[in-house]
Structure 1
């Protein structure tokens, strides 16, 4: 059964708001240095959506982006600086789970951890086993 969920969220100041329709794909955590610097956290928690499933509907429109790699740009609010996710060249938008209004949703539970070896040894991340 295909999820008909509508996930909403946005930045700290509310200027950038989004709506993502359908199932949240590839819920995962990442501890790579790029995610650490982008989020300011030792581990980022991501979910992905097809680009056509995400609409930017706040007064600020689309987020500002910074080209972070050959295939992706990091998205953030130009007003408050909140990091929102990544907009890939391929038709994918990855959103940080902390930006969603409701984070207690089974679709948002991470199932994998990328770059686990990049986290400090004292930092532990639990992911659900699928």
Structure 2
């Protein structure tokens, strides 16, 4: 009689765990498909989620309290100054929040990822406009 009860407990437990793992897999698969769709352009330019940071451009701008970037070096300096100020203010050793500090870091990374191609394009256009001037190093 005891072996029958033990067998039933094992079978029912296995069935419950199997269903839980199957449901978790379905949710993970759906989440992954959604993120891939957003990355391919399913959302708007400001609403698109960056897969590495998991943060939209709007959210990153709100976290650092800056305007949406257009790609100028002055904007990058503003982002870095806001980042340093907020990151230091939320230092866990001084009573700050590690969670907020990590959000601030992810926001900076998201804005950098968005601004870098624009800044590279601007620098390339400036180089084309003034002409190519190679850096020549002279031996002594």
Q: TM-score, normalised by structure 1?
A: 0.23
Report the structure, 1 or 2, having the larger helix content.
2
Q: TM-score, normalised by structure 2?
A: 0.22
The structure that has the greater radius of gyration is 2
